[in-house]
Amino acid sequence: MSKTSLAIIAAVSAAAGSAATAAILTLRSQHKESPTATLSTRTVPTPASPSPPVPTPLPTPLRKDIVPPVNPTGVFQYGFPGPINDLRPNVSTTSAFDRRTRNPYWVAEHITQASLSANNADRRHSYFVEDESVPEKFRAKLLDYFRSGYDRGHQVPAADAKWSQDAMDQTFLLTNMCPQVGEGFNRDYWAHFEDFCRRLTNHYPSVRIVTGPLYLPWRDAQDGKWRVSYEVIGNPPNVAVPTHFYKVIFAEDGKTGGDVSLGAFVLPNAKIDNEKPLTSFEVPVEAIERASGLEFASKLPMQRRKKLCEEITCSLLVRDYADRQKNLAGSAPPRRVPSPSGSS
């Protein structure tokens, strides 16, 4: 693993107060892998439905003279066990839901200066609601959050969907929520991070963002072993409390087949000082893919990729809530000035 990767991982771990992210976010240089990880099995996102389609099995070739005496896939006649990712395309968000943790795997959004400048919705008219597209027994419920000590943390912020009341209402579905630490995170550093994403539209005509939870390991100080543990809220306990959250940012130059500036960040679900540099949470997108089991840029050629934090200054602008609401796009993050040729 490179010194750069070690430094990134150490910074994220320090922010979490432990070495929690070190193992899972490690990019193992001892294995010569392609920049974009490839899945060993083929999966197709499946929208939630009463009768999900049964996947076509890929049988292992057998010798022609062997006739199997059993048929394991015959269990499909009683129903496909899963997993099923409840794909939820809305006008303001698109998401895939994890029925086991009762949290989304990811939630995607698209923002532009035009979408942010529109003001056709009022947050006071939106209400948190359970998502009835998810079967009741797998659904996150309003009561799960009651007196839990955690905020219902938007993955796609409501402020990004002020162009329509319906669009804003859809951001209040619980399939767009995860339990987040409130003071010092959801209401502070995380909110300023969301503001940073909006300010990118001053430089880029189109910005796409994918946000989601992570459940990263921590090292036991007594035996030195790595374990994954997280709180579960609700009665009965239903909703997992993520240890971390990620954002993958695609800042597009607006040209067909044009350049895309990629940024990837992992933040602990904990109080963070507003003075903490945003770049201390920057990681390679491949690190998030490895940690989440997801792929974000498998169809984006390397020649079209640029590094977001080499294009602009990745830093927060701490603005209070009222100021952010008056001007969502805010001021543009400063562009980085290329170093003169030959300078170090």
Which positions are catalytic?
Answer: 154
Enclosing H/E stretch for 10: helix 3-16
Distance CA 134, CA 130 (A): 9
For 118, phi then psi, to 5°, come to -70, 145
State how far the Cα of 228 lies from the Cα of 212, in Å rounded to an integer. 17
**Neighbour-count burial of 207, counting CB atoms closer than 10 A to its CB (0-12 exposed, 13-18 middle, 19+ buried):** buried
Contacts (Cβ under 8 Å, ≥6 apart) of 186: 151, 153, 180
Contact 150, 160 (CB under 8 A): no
* Buried b / exposed e along 295-331 (16+ C-beta atoms within 10 A): ebbeeeeeeebeebbebbebebeebeeeebeeebbbe
SS3 107: strand
Q: State the Cα angle at 336 between 330 and 342, rounded to 5°.
A: 175
Answer left, alpha or beta for residue 257, where phi above 0 means left and psi between -120 and 50 means alpha.
Answer: left
Q: How far apart are CA 208 and CA 253, in angstroms?
A: 12
For the chain, state the CA radius of gyration. Answer: 22
